[in-house]
Amino acid sequence: MSRRQYALPQRNDEHPPDDTGCTVLHVDMDAFYASASLLSRPELVGTPVIIGGGGNRGVVLSATYEARRFGVASAMPMARARRLCPTATVVAPDYALYSTISAAVMATFETITPIVEPLSLDEAFLDVAGAVRRLGTPAAIGQLIRDTIHDEQGITCSVGVAPTKFVAKLASGLAKPDGMVVVPRDEVVTFVQQLPVGALWGVGDKTEEALLRLGLHTVADIAHTPLDTLRRALGESAGPHLHDLAWGRDPRHVEVQRRERSIGSDETFEFDVDDPAYIHRQLLKLSDRTAARVRSARMMGRTVTIRVRFSDFTTITRSRTLRDPTDVSREIFDTAKSLYDALGLQRARIRLVGVRMEGLVESEGAPIQGTLDEPDHGWREADRAVDRASARFGAGSVRPASLISDRERERRRGERGERGVDPGTPRPRPANG
């Protein structure tokens, strides 16, 4: 059962809910990746749009609510999403844009309170207890956040206002899209106990199956089950935890976490690939994309990690920690390529590769080490020039020549009135076997 099917207890008056003591806010952007992508595609607003790789072997990153009505969901295979919603427009992700907007959203949160706990690029918990005197009630602060993000970023968000993190997150789900739900302190138990057991934090498919076998279908059922029974069925830790949540008890505080621990990108191929030159080009593209996101977050990374997934879904990772932190595309690519070549994969059939930067530190004040083959103005300055061009003309407007396909080169020659050779196919041949 989705969170949209939850209902708040019925009210008998027209007064706004009492938000006294409801100082935990959960703020969640609405269809964030889709909403951000459509900022430059206003003609697609109100239509089904899927964000993800164009090939059938990719997965859905996000989808507009129009596409979700057809059953399209995040992490769904792209082939299935296309079958469910054949009229949807598929748009490639723009990770640099997402990082930029996310950084701005998090900066907005930090103008409200220093106690911000990001959960991902598009959601966070806020403890606004210290902001009430300055900015008004928790509900007023939630509305201020919604208005500010809409005015400054052009996207919408939903806000849950509650005494605890668990209830605030449930409330923001009920508020979607573009709304706010307040759960008063004296209505928490009623609100929580009307939910299905699958709504509880930490209940996955297996735990839900175990609860249903016990005949427990709602949170109220769990609340009124003896604690010893829950311990025997779910374990010494999970049993008491779910019992506490069933009575609205969540002792966790909002924990300040200001920066991502890692930033990276993956690429799933349309078919298995065994061409090392093609893999190198994909590593270059992923290194450029990852470096741009690292710079957008005003970070630098010490460790480069690659991920390789084979045709049988076996996955390996390899990492190398650099002497100095970096945000330079070329240095990240050189390291990623070296890690891949060291694997000695001769004609191995590969399904996915990824590049990730870890050990992130603030770029301001980080040591910068030049290299012997660095041009006069430096690879770092070149990267920043590319960032400026991308911000003005769109992601991918400037990129390494090796990432431009033969077909695109031919098109550009034609636009300039030049003669060219017959375009070749830009994609590799499938791996043998």
332 in Cβ contact with 357 (< 8 Å): yes
Residue 20 CA to residue 299 CA, distance in Å, equals 38
Question: Which of the following is catalytic: 14, 66, 110, 123?
Answer: 123
Nearest to 182 by CA among 158, 161, 166, 163: 161
311 in Cβ contact with 350 (< 8 Å): yes
Listed in sequence order, the residues at least 6 apart from 43 whose beta carbon sits closer than 8 Å to its beta carbon are none
Q: Is 19 annotated as a binding residue?
A: no
Q: Is 178 annotated as a binding residue?
A: no
Is the link from the previous residue into 177 a cis peptide, with omega within 30 of 0? Answer: yes
410 part of the active site: no
Annotation: binding site:
28, 122
The catalytic residue positions are: 123
Write out the binding residues for Mg(2+).
Answer: 28, 122
